[in-house]
Amino acid sequence: MARVEATIGAELAEHLGRRRRAARRERLRVSGAQLVILLAILGLWEYVTRIPWFIANTIFDPFFVSRPSLVAAKLYHWTFGKQAGYLWPHLYSTLVSTLLGLIVAVSTGFFVGLLLSQKRRLAAIFNPFIVGLNSLPRIAFVPLITMIFGLGIASKIVTAWFIVFFLVFFNTFKGGLNIEPHIINFCRGLGANDRQITRTVRIPNAAAWAFASLPNAVAFSLIGVVISEFVGSVTGMGYVIISALATLNAADMFAAIVVLSVTGISLVTIFRAVERRLLRWSPEFRDLK
């Protein structure tokens, strides 16, 4: 019997090892394809901005779209060169505002969504107000938010919260509702009370739905902060972009956009790692190591 169990265990370990090796090879293939596409785009961009005919007859004039080489040079100067130290205070301001706005929006959106998913009458009462607020063009409220909360970090956090809250709320609300009744009945049959069911069933299920909204939530939080920085702020990456526009400097503008893009990708990667850790019971991550 022990020999059979050892054989089965060895075969299972070998099978899991093959799956992990296959997953790693697939990730390498995907990363390689992404790198090739990125290099092709940058190479084409650099090439067409050096052809006189393209410059004269299309929008690919370096005055408007710069060049990858000029953008790379600007990033180098901001990081190590003659303008070293210029970028970091602005990036820090944007990053802190984005994270604080995201934390406030996710926590409040998750709490309200989970609460209303269990209080059907309350959800029905507030439904038209929630739908109405969600239908508003929230970007149009940025000047009003800035006027109320000033030009500091508070207005950036409120703008990010106002944009992200409903995204997390609706996902959490749907996650709280989409629980099979037989699971609830089974838990009640085992003697679980409402608080235990909420802790062990409703919250994990709603969290899985809420985490599904986090990549978009990160992006929208960053967008909200940058737009808020367009309106009168003297710090942040939005201010860098507006300053580049004022001086008609396309290289500065694209360099700031690259920094924002890398920041967004990094934040999404971090939150995906957190999601994988917290939701390791989920079928999506169960076999991933």
Give yes or no for a contact between 176 and 113, defined as CB atoms under 8 angstroms apart. yes
What gap in Å lies between CA 1 and CA 128, rounded to an integer? 64
- Report which of 104, 123, 128, 106 is spatially closest to residue 176, judged by C-alpha positions: 123
Helices and strands (H, E) in the chain, number of each type: 14, 0
pLDDT digits (tens, 9 = 90+) for 68-108: 888 898 888 888 877 777 888 889 999 999 999 999 999 99
pLDDT digits (tens, 9 = 90+) for 20-45: 777 788 888 888 898 999 899 989 88
Predicted pLDDT of residue 108: 92
What gap in Å lies between CA 223 and CA 139, rounded to an integer? 10
Predicted pLDDT of residue 132: 85
Which amino acid belongs to residue 124?
A
What gap in Å lies between CA 252 and CA 238, rounded to an integer? 12
Enumerate long-range contacts of 127-133, CB under 8 Å, 24 or more apart.
Answer: 130/166, 130/169, 133/166
Predicted pLDDT of residue 6: 59
Give yes or no for a contact between 157 and 189, defined as CB atoms under 8 angstroms apart. no
Predicted pLDDT of residue 161: 92
CA 51 to chain centre: 37
Q: Give the chain's radius of gyration (CA, Å).
A: 25
The enclosing H or E element of 30 equals helix 2-48
Token output for 46 = 């650099």
Mean pLDDT of 164-182: 81
CA angle 35–39–41, rounded 5-degree value: 120
